[in-house]
């Protein structure tokens, strides 16, 4: 009996290690997808010769308590190189946020452009998708898009999207979003790289499989399509990912562009607390989407599997991150056979490979943005690798806990002067 339990424990342990390795390897594959073959290099291309502006855009700027940056954001969006007649900028605020409203009104007054509009709503729920849905009602552009309050879109982004949408028969374009403050806090390195790999590489894999959880901003969707889809899901905490899955369900043609030049620049959350809150919201949103079970309607098994993987990933990662110390402790404390000990190290080897890939990613990121490589930063990245996983694990557990408690309120992540509209 004892041996039977022991055997079962060993088998379970091996299974966990195996799943861990497979997950790590698959994750590495996602991260390296764009570098897998030379042909994949062209997937990210943005046009350089622009067509004449033809599509009109409605740019939605949802904001809440963004007094510090909102004027600048509106100014930046208004300054985009595109005919102003073809741009409608809708700042979305709630009536209980007078500070931001005043800021918006001030800049609207300064700009003196009736294309810049302020939408003030007073009902519930108080969240981003609701504001967006209201803005969608009054949007007049051919294409709707969202920019968050702290975003810095590239001045030519609308020309790029205009050209792409005219040249290629696409219904939606996800342009790259990139966190830029890679070295402000210790967790910033990995957060920045996460964005880097996610938008530059993984998105293309998702797009190839046909299951694309979109990013929260710089997503350009044809307004008609957006209306047919019925707007954003107001009950979902990650309406962007939900929208992506629904776009895939309706077989929308999606194009992913990540050109280092044209990325929309963002900032990481300012403190660990905010970072965890932001992650918690994302993870909880993923749990919501998972439980909404719309992804089960995806046609192919590969799509469903990928959807399940992406949605459940935070929980898996949390589980693994918690398991690593346990596994190490077991190696030290429990006398295990040599082969089993070696087998457990397989997972560690996979993690180390991911770490090295991250280091190379850092180098690539710095080169793309003409920044200097620093060995000190590389060391910080290496040291932060496992603590970062635990941060993710913590936010994932917190998300599970909140989901079970039924807490679905919008935990906004305010920044000090870098506030985000989420």
Partner 1 sequence: MTFSSRQAPDEKVQSDSEQPRHIQPATRRRFTPARLPDPGAGLTSNSSPDPDTDPVFSASASFSEQQPGPHRPLLGGKLSLPSKPLLPRGKLSLPSKPLLPRGKLSLPSKKNGPRLHPALQDVEQQETRAIPQFSPPTLLATENAGSRQSGASDAAADAALEPRLWCGPVEDAAGVETDEALEVVNGHVVLYRQANFSVHTVYRPGQKLYPLRKPSGYTSRMARVMPHQRERVAVSQTRRMPRVEMRETRRSLTLPVPLWLESAALLLLLAGAVYLHAYNLFQFPGYTMDEGTYMQNAWAITIGKLSPYPYGYGHPPAGWIQLALWIKVSNLFRFGAAINSGRIMMLAYSAGGTLLVYLIARRLGGSKSAALIGMALFASSPLSVILQREVLLDNIATFWLLLALYLIVVSRSRLLYLAGAALALGLAVLSKEVSAVLLPALAYLAWLHITPFQRKFALVTFTYITLAMISTFVLMALLKGELFPYAWHLPWDTHPHLSLLDTYAGQIQRGQNQGSFLESWRTWWQEDAPLTCAGLAAPIFNLLYGWRERKHLALALLALSYWLLLARGGVVYVFYLLPLLPLIALNVALALHVLLGWLSRLARLPAARAVLLLLLLSLLLPYNAIGAARQASAQPVAAQQQALSWVRAHLPRNAYIVIDTYMYLDLRQPANDGANLAPVFTRAEVYWNVATDPSIRDGVLHNSWNNIDYLVVDKQMLDDIHANTPAFTILQAALVHSTRLASFHARDYFGDITLQIYQVRHQNTPLVRAGPTKNDAQTRW
Map residue 224 onto helix, strand or coil.
helix
Stretch that binds partner 1, among 9-17, 59-67, 259-267, 410-418 (CB under 8 A): 259-267
Q: Which of residues 280-319 bind partner 1 (CB under 8 A)?
A: none
Q: Which residues contact 194 (CB under 8 A, 6 or more apart)?
A: none
If one asks whether residue 256 binds partner 1 (CB under 8 A), the answer comes out as no
Q: Which is nearer to partner 1, 32 or 272 (CB)?
A: 32
Exposure string over 291-328, b if 16+ CB within 10 A, otherwise e: eeeebeebeeeebeebbeebbebbbebbbbbbbbeebe
Q: Which residues, numbered 97-126, are part of the site for partner 1 (CB under 8 A)?
A: 105, 108-109, 111-123
Taking CB under 8 A as the rule, does residue 357 contact partner 1?
Answer: yes
- From 90, 144, 236, 403, residue interacting with partner 1 (rule: CB under 8 A): 90
Judged by beta carbon, residue 20 or residue 116, the one nearer partner 1 is: 116
Tokens of 396: 């994932």
CB of residue 165 vs partner 1: minimum separation in angstroms?
7
Q: Which is nearer to partner 1, 228 or 374 (CB)?
A: 228
Instruction: Closer to partner 1 by CB, 132 or 399: give it.
Output: 132
Contact between 32 and partner 1 per CB under 8 A: yes
Q: Which residue, 305 or 360, has its beta carbon nearer to partner 1?
A: 360
Token pair recorded at residue 372: 């200097």
User: Are the CB atoms for 76 and 153 separated by under 8 Å?
Assistant: yes
Q: How many residues comprise the chain? A: 422
Among 60, 149, 170, 276, binds partner 1 (CB under 8 A): 170
Q: How far is the CB of 209 from partner 1 (least distance, A)?
A: 12
Q: Which of 11, 15, 305, 353 binds partner 1 (CB under 8 A)?
A: 353
* Contact indicator for 237, 281 with CB cutoff of 8 Å: yes
Residue 402, C-beta contacts closer than 8 angstroms, at least 6 positions apart: 280, 284, 408
The answer to whether residues 316 and 272 touch, using CB atoms and an 8 Å cutoff, is no
Residues of span 368-407 touching partner 1 by CB under 8 A: none
Residue 250 within binding range of partner 1, rule CB under 8 A: yes
Count of residues binding partner 1 (CB under 8 A)? 93
Assess contact for 205 and 33: CB atoms under 8 A: yes
Q: Which residues in the 133-162 window bind partner 1 by CB under 8 A?
A: 133-134, 136-142
Q: Is 223 in the site for partner 1 (CB under 8 A)?
A: yes
Question: Residue 65 class from Cβ within 10 Å (0-12 exposed, 13-18 middle, 19+ buried)?
Answer: middle
């Amino acid at each position: 009996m004892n041996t039977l339990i022991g055997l079962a424990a060993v088998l379970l342990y091996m299974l966990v290690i195996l799943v861990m390795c497979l997950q790590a390897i698959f994750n590495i594959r996602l991260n390296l997808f764009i570098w897998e073959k030379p042909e994949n290099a062209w997937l990210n291309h943005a046009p350089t010769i622009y067509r004449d502006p033809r599509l009109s855009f409605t740019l939605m700027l949802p904001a809440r308590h963004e007094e510090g940056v909102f004027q600048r954001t509106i100014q930046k969006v208004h300054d985009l190189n595109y005919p102003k007649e073809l741009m409608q900028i809708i700042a979305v605020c709630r009536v209980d946020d007078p500070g931001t409203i005043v800021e918006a009104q001030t800049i609207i007054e300064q700009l003196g452009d009736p294309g810049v509009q302020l939408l003030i709503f007073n009902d519930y729920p108080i969240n981003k998708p609701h504001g967006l849905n209201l803005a969608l009602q009054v949007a007049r552009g051919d294409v709707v898009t969202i920019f968050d309050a702290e975003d810095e879109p590239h001045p030519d982004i609308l020309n790029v999207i205009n050209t792409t949408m005219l040249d290629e028969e696409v219904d939606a374009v996800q342009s790259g979003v990139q966190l830029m403050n890679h070295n402000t806090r210790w967790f910033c390195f990995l957060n920045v790289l996460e964005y880097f790999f996610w938008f530059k590489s993984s998105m293309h894999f998702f797009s190839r499989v046909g299951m694309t959880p979109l990013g929260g901003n710089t997503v350009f969707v044809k307004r008609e399509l957006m209306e047919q889809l019925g707007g954003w899901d107001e009950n979902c905490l990650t309406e962007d990912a939900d929208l992506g899955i629904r776009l895939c369900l309706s077989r929308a043609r999606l194009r992913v562009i990540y050109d280092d030049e044209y990325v929309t620049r963002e900032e990481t959350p300012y403190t660990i607390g905010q970072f965890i809150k932001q992650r918690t919201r994302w993870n909880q949103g993923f749990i919501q989407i998972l439980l909404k079970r719309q992804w089960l309607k995806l046609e192919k098994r590969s799509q469903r599997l990928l959807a399940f993987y992406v949605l459940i990933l935070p929980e898996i990662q949390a589980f693994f991150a918690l398991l690593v110390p346990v596994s190490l402790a077991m190696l030290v404390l429990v006398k295990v056979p040599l082969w089993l000990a070696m087998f457990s190290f397989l997972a560690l080897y996979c993690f180390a490979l991911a770490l090295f890939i991250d280091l190379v990613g850092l180098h690539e990121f710095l080169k793309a943005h003409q920044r200097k490589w620093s060995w000190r930063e590389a060391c910080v990245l290496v040291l932060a690798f496992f603590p970062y996983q635990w941060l993710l694990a913590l936010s994932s557990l917190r998300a599970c806990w909140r989901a079970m408690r039924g807490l679905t309120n919008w935990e906004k992540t305010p920044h000090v002067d870098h506030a985000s509209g989420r």
